[in-house]
């Protein structure tokens, strides 16, 4: 479980019910088994994880998970609290796509002969911002970094030209409105939680309560 702003999940969306894509960012201790603990929070509720990435974070020893799901705000909020409740999780954020900068990396293996013979392919590649990672006699590997639509579009475009292998990475995302975790970590390390640590969304509801 975490401290500061724990329950405060800023959202600009008036839409609480409808499903949309959310990227959940989890800061956690780097511990064996934690991935399973987090994954079963989703599977217990029969929620499909569309993309999952684990990586180091800006802080040594602290891991960062990016999890992408299609759900409503209410569901995501509850999931976030369940994740944050896990002992080794420090903090959970969740964001809609307009609140993050995100990328996925895709690799495409195509026959070099096809490429050589058919110039159109090369033009296609330029159009999709691909770069050649490996060029061999038998095959060539291209890479594209971008949003799902972009990486998908190249798959479509390459299909007629013998796409031998295709793979896409999980999403990695940076939160636009985040100052990183360095300062936060100090608060977590303090034995007594500070005053500011426990602001939460309930407080923000003040007006709603008394005008209702």
Tokens representing 42 are 């989703």
Q: Any alpha helices (H) in the chain, and if so which ranges? A: 34-44, 73-85, 112-117, 119-127, 148-158, 182-189, 201-204, 206-211
Largest CA distance in the chain: 73
- Residue 143 is a binding residue for another protein (CB under 8 A): no
Question: If you write DSSP's letter for every residue of 30-55 in order, what string do you get?
Answer: --TTHHHHHHHHHHHTT---SEEEEE
User: x/- site string to another protein, residues 74 to 113, per CB under 8 A?
Assistant: ---xx--xx-xx-xxxx-----------------------
CB of 66 to another protein, least distance (A): 18
Among residue numbers 180 through 209, which ones bind another protein (CB under 8 A)? 185, 188-189, 191-195, 197-200, 202-203, 205-206, 208-209
- Return the structure tokens found at 134: 């490996």
What are the residues binding another protein (CB under 8 A)? 1-3, 6-7, 28-29, 32-33, 36-37, 40, 44, 77-78, 81-82, 84-85, 87-90, 185, 188-189, 191-195, 197-200, 202-203, 205-206, 208-210, 212
């Amino acid at each position: 479980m975490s401290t500061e702003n724990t329950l405060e999940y800023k959202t600009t969306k008036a839409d609480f019910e409808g499903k949309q894509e959310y990227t959940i960012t989890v800061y956690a201790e780097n511990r064996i088994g934690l991935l399973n603990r987090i994954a079963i929070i989703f599977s217990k509720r029969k929620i499909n994880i569309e993309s999952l990435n684990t990586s180091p974070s800006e802080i040594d020893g602290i891991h960062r998970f990016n999890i992408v799901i299609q759900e409503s705000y209410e569901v995501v909020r509850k999931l976030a609290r369940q994740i944050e409740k896990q002992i080794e999780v420090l903090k959970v954020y969740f964001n809609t796509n307009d609140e993050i900068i995100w990328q996925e990396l895709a690799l495409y293996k195509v026959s070099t002969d096809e490429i050589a013979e058919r110039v159109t392919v090369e033009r296609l590649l330029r159009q999709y911002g691909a770069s050649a990672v490996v060029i061999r006699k038998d095959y060539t590997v291209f890479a594209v970094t971008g949003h799902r639509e972009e990486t998908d579009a190249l798959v479509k475009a390459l299909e007629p030209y013998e796409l031998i292998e295709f793979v896409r990475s999980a999403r990695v995302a940076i939160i636009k409105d985040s100052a990183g975790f360095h300062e936060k970590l100090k608060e977590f390390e303090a034995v007594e939680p500070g005053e500011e640590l426990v602001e939460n969304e309930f407080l923000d509801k003040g007006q709603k309560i008394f005008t209702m």
